[in-house]
Structure 1
Amino acid sequence: MRTAYSVETVRAAERELMDRLPDGALMRRAAAGLAATAVRMLGWVYGARVLLLVGGGDNGGDALLAGALLARRGAAVTAVLLSPDRAHPGGLAALRAAGGSAGPAAAVSGRALVADLVLDGITGIGGSGGLRPEAAELLARLEARRPGAAEPAVLAVDLPSGVDADTGEVPGAAVRATATATFGAYKPGLLVDPGRQRAGTVRLVDIGLGPHLPPQPDLLALQHSDVARLLPLPSPESDKYRRGVVGVAAGSARYPGAAVLAVGGALRGGAGAVRYAGHAAEGVVAAHPETLVSGGAPREAGRVQSWVVGPGLGTGAEAERAVAQVLEADVPVLVDADGLRFLDPGQVRARRAPTLLTPHAGEAAALLDVAREAVESERLVSVRELARRYGATVLLKGSTTLVASGGRPVRVNPTGTGWLATAGSGDVLSGLAGSLLAAGLDALDAASVGAYLHGLAARLAPEPCTAVEVAAALPSAWQQVRATAGTD
């Protein structure tokens, strides 16, 4: 399990640790880890050209001290000082003593910007807003390479400059790193888009911060072993009813495929049986003959341990009645797609059984009455606000899928691929997560495990994949998680 902590929490832990260490020891630890990461990225040191982009904070000091270590091993190290009067004096002296050079950004020639590796130490985790004009202009000069010139690798120090450490927001110009060496703990902005896309491969550098961090993180990402422990597995005494029955109220004359896909996901989610209620019964049985079908309203379908409602349901009065009936049931309910149109926050908050909402950014924007762009740029803020407003667990789909539930740490899904942006993939996810609810997982775990398996299945499916192929790959994803659970 990867855990991420807010800037405030990391700063507090750093202060505790620094009180127990000699002056400057923590920065030296960070610089040593940063230099080691740089060496791994370069593959060699002697003769390598290394460019340091140095701001006025501790990140600039980390970059300077790491640059000194590389210079002692024969690298040609040049530091560009964006705030010369605030550059870390000890780091600057160490770099120059090791044979490196340093100068203000305005004095740097184009030739000096040619490098094999660039260390981004412009701003740290306490930075806010995009890059300042001078830094943005320097970045633009770096990116405007001569035709045919090789693109240098970029190693961000703790966090790509211009990315908000707590949210992943990118409010202006920002560094796009090949890799990020982050110190002591992951920061939420490294795991959440759009910041995640700027971070590249993230490497955690251990500086001894662990014992000083609180037990509950701000954000966490499950891994194979975590998911394997949560998978519902049948016992020898199990029958289809003891394993759980999931009800699916989905599809319509216009969108019958949504019902087929949701049922397909549900059949592969660990529950023992699927009951379908709706107008696509003929298509559902043709695709999945094991389904228990009913052409009537949800309340006429029979007993279930969870409901999935909404995919392809339509927007008419009949669809609204189906959502209302499902929400009246005293079992966990997953609401997706068209079903989200009929939600009232008070009605959802009044339910005694868990509710799981699974909107994409556009649907989340409608629920929050904001622009879609606001949700996409502030994903953490949006998913937390939805969970608070509706008193529900919320799975916000997208390039970074997030799951929020009350005061528990937000979970970020680490699996997936851009090929999941295909019609019907959300219907498969709804059925899968709803089946996990019926099998006994709580809403947070059902959403997290469902998103994890769904993303992994997309990686295993052919490229480009369809929603049907994602559903078909779910058993392989399940088996891979169980088989490799002890190796991550």
Structure 2
Amino acid sequence: MRTAYGVETVRAAERELMARLPEGALMQRAAAGLAAACADLLGRVYGSRVVLLVGSGDNGGDALYAGARLARRGAGVTAVLLSPERAHPGGLAALRKAGGRSVGADAGTELVERADLVVDGVVGIGGKGGLRPEAAALAHAAERARVPVVAVDLPSGVDADTGEVRGTAMRADLTVTFGTHKPGLLIDPAREHAGVVRLVDIGLTLPHDAVELEALQHADVARLLPVPAAESDKYRRGVVGIAAGSARYPGAAVLAVSGALRGGAGAVRYVGPAADAVIARFPETLVSDRGPAKAGRVQAWVVGPGAGDDAATVAEVLAADVPVLIDADGLRLADREAVRARTAPTLMTPHAGEAAALLGVTREEVEAARLTSVRELAARYEATVLLKGSTTLVAGAGGTGPVRVNPTGTSWLATAGSGDVLSGLAGSLLAAGLAPLDAGSAGAYLHGLSGRFAADGAPVGAHDVAEGIPEAWRDVVG
């Protein structure tokens, strides 16, 4: 599992470590890792033209010391000093001693445009807001010239704690981050600016109870996925109920069932007006026309995909004393107080537009502040919330504790019906006994992986994603 820590936690760990090390040793560790990463990206260091964009903080010092190492290997290294009077004195002296040179910001644009590599050491992890005009001009120059950019710890201009980008920010091809990941490196829109992220261990000791963000990996998901025991039958494995679809949207029911059948539960019950379409596609489904309360025993419900305006069914499902996943139209129809009053777990799965409606803000505001939005929703509804999108986030009920970020997503999943498949898959995992945070996280992981496998660089439909779930499951547990 990859973890990410907030700025204050990282700074406290750095202070503690620096108190035990010789002066400057920690910066030298960071600079060594940064220089090695730059050398790998360059391929041939000798004779290459490296431009350091140097601000006034420790990131500038890291860049200067790394530049000195590259200069000693034969690179032509020039530091563009954005605040000459506040540049790290030790790093600047080391660069000059190694044969590098420094110039003011007014000479930076031409140097950037002719560089083989730009190192972004403008702003550190405590930076807030976008870049100032001089630095922004250099960032634009690097983009125009398509010069490879390596960011020191994180791209300058992004918010390390939230992933928000409020103004112009550097766009890196590679980010070399130290000690631990920062949340902004894993969450859009900042993640788009980070490029490939390379973690350099500098010896930090970080408290487990201060984790801000978690990203599951194959081994973590494999431990969560249900495996039938020798004595299992279809009922012991769990039964998931699907209350979805309408005369206008029968396909949503079919797709939700398709995800549920591949999600680990032993059986799927369907309730709704699309029973004929569901049975025609999946004859193993147990169907009922008597409503959720009389459909038979289930261990979890999924309600909402394609439900139209059927508020009565949504209310009936919310009254059930089993875990419930609410998606799509169900999010619009569910009464907030009814959700908060539930004693059994609830998992909500909005996309950005649905989250915006629930929060009373614009979609753009949600997409710009995804971490804040998912935590706020989880707090308002006292429910686990899976916020779908370019980076899918899962926050536990109440919005406290680490938020999970899904690393397997692909833009090819932005297709009609994809979310219906995910709701069925995650609902099935709920019925199989997973807690909402785990069901949402594992469901998103398998869904994203299946989307990658199904697409393989080409467009796919939601049914392709559903059919690829077994392959993704086998890849995780194999």
Q: Is the 2:113–2:147 Cα contact (8 Å) retained in structure 1?
A: no
Match of 1:486 in 2: none
1:23 Cα deviation from its structure 2 partner: 0.8
Which of 354, 369, 374 is the matching residue for 1:383?
374
Partners in 2 of 1:373 and 1:152 — Cα distance?
A: 30
Q: Which amino acid aligns with 2:202?
A: I
Match of 2:161 among 160, 166, 169: 166
1:245 to 239, 244, 247: 239
Matches for 1:277-296 after TM superposition, within 5 Å? 277-296=271-290
Choose from 423, 429, 432 the match for 1:430.
423
Q: CA deviation at 1:153?
A: 1.2
Q: Does 1:207 align with 2:191?
A: no
Q: Hey, what does 1:348 align to over in structure 2?
A: 339
Whether contact under 8 Å (2:165, 2:189) holds in the other structure is: yes
Residue aligning to 2:263: 269
Aligned-partner Cα distance in 2 for 1:337–1:311: 5
1:416 matched to 2:418? The reply is no
Q: CA RMSD in A?
A: 1.0
Letter in 1 for 2:69: L
Task: Name the aligned partner's letter for residue 159 of structure 1.
Answer: L
CA distance in 2, matches of 1:274, 1:47: 65
| Structure 2 stretches lacking a partner, 5+ long | none
Separation in structure 1 between the aligned mates of residue 107 and residue 293 of structure 2, nearest angstrom: 75
What amino acid maps onto 2:445 in structure 1? Y
* 1:85-115 residue CA offsets vs partner (Å, 9 max, x unmatched): 1100000000000000111111346256411
The one-letter code of the counterpart of 1:429 is: L
1:162 is displaced (CA, Å) by 0.6
For residue 415 of structure 1, give the secondary structure of its aligned residue in structure 2: coil
Note if contact 1:16-1:212 (Cα within 8 Å) is conserved in structure 2: no
Map 1:30-45 → 2, pairs under 5 A? 30-45=30-45
Cα deviation for residue 195 of structure 1 reads: 0.5
Counterpart amino acid of 2:332? R
Instruction: Quote how far apart the aligned CAs of 1:47 are.
Output: 1.0
Which residue, 448, 456, 460 being the options, matches 2:453?
Answer: 460
Q: Give yes or no for contact 2:356–2:363 (8 Å, CA) kept in 1.
A: yes
Structure 1 residues 473 and 15: alpha-carbon distance in aligned structure 2, compared to 1, 3 A threshold: same
Percent identity, aligned pairs only, is 72
TM-score, normalisation: structure 1: 0.96
- For the residues of structure 1 that align with 2:88 and 2:297, how far apart are their CA atoms? 68
Give the Cα separation in 2 of the matches to 1:473 and 1:141. 43
Size of the alignment, in residue pairs?
Answer: 474
What is the CA–CA distance in structure 2 between the aligned matches of 1:140 and 1:441, rounded to whole Å?
47
1:78–1:112 CA contact under 8 A, matched in 2: no
SS at 1:167's partner residue?
coil
Q: Secondary structure at the match of 1:144?
A: helix
Q: Answer whether contact 1:17 1:212 (CA < 8 A) is retained.
A: no
- Name 2:441's counterpart in structure 1: 448
Aligned: 1:85 with 2:80:
no
Q: Is contact 2:52-2:78 (8 Å) kept?
A: yes
Aligned to 1:18: 18
- 1:185 is paired with a residue whose SS is coil
CA contact (8 A) 2:142 2:149 kept: no
Seen in structure 2, the aligned counterparts of structure 1 residues 390 and 112 have a Cα distance that, compared at 3 Å, is: closer
Q: Superposition pairs for residues 132-151 of structure 1, below 5 Å? A: 132-145=132-145, 151=146
